[in-house]
Amino acid sequence: MSAKGYDSVFRNDLFAGKTIIVTGGGSGIGRCTAHELASLGAKVIITGRKTEKLQGVAAEITADGGICHSASFDIRDEEAVKAAVADIVAEHGPIHGLVNNAGGQFPANLQDISKKGWDAVIATNLTGGFLMMRAVFEASMAEHGGTIVNMTADMWNGMPGMAHSGAARAGMSNLTKTAAFEWAQYGVRVNAVAPGWIASSGMDTYGGAVRAMIPHLRQHLPAKRMGSEAEVSSAIVFLLSEGASFITGVTFAIDGGAPLGSAVFPLPDHEKSTAYNGFHRAVDPEVLRGGGS
């Protein structure tokens, strides 16, 4: 039974009979993507470190009529990843899709990043994604094929204030290309999405000067607004779908034109770009409530 409520632009049975893993599915873009995939008939397996958050999202999806299971583990732990993926395959059968969404970072100037902090962000945003890709490939996709969508970020012009995350995300974009080439012979497609400034719950994790800056970010975008979680989810869903069957090895920017133009050229204000938000359970992050989005 397909879930009711999510207003997806895709047909209801698009992923009927498919099992798709979404890492970091307990909040933000991962939560939204899990909801949309379930609404399109997929059996969704959400993963993360916090069991309570995962169970909450699974309960939402089930209440909406979808199918969702959860698995709690740390994607940075190689043995935990292998064991969790093996358990998922044993219980649910072949894995048709992997959304490598889990990640996280903290703001810091380059000279202030400790090795411990650097290692933690690289492990979360690059190494963990690699471990998930390899485990899913070995346990299922090498035999049955499948589709992987990795998460990167708007890092094309560097990431001042988040050098560790920028390096990790750039690495993931390159890893996506290599995997797409090496695994094509197994019927596996691998792509990535690179969200820019998205109005998601992750924004509420920042404090200080970064938090104060967030409501004003829209002024620096040609679109003159932030993106919605649903706009990222719909791109992920497309890349997972058969409509993207001849697309592999690309990193798909979802950023409202953020890297375009020049600081010396004026950016006119406007209200011509309208956000798509099919997610019926979406909530604006606290930092944007009051008109900043």
The CATH number covering residue 210 comes to: 3.40.50.720
In a domain, 113, yes or no: yes
pLDDT for 4: 57
pLDDT for 1: 38
pLDDT for 210: 75
In a domain, 293, yes or no: no
pLDDT for 293: 43
In a domain, 5, yes or no: no
How far apart are the C-alpha atoms of 143 and 230, rounded to whole Å? 32
In a domain, 159, yes or no: yes
In a domain, 2, yes or no: no
How far apart are the C-alpha atoms of 189 and 177, rounded to whole Å? 10
Domain that holds residue 200: 19-288
pLDDT for 252: 96
Q: Which ranges of the chain have pLDDT less than 70?
A: 1-4, 290-293
User: Do the Cβ atoms of 67 and 44 come closer than 8 Å?
Assistant: yes
Split into its structural domains, the chain has a count of 1
In a domain, 143, yes or no: yes
In a domain, 248, yes or no: yes
- pTM of this structure: 0.93
pLDDT for 189: 98
80: exposed, middle or buried (Cβ count in 10 Å: 0-12, 13-18, 19+): middle
In a domain, 156, yes or no: yes
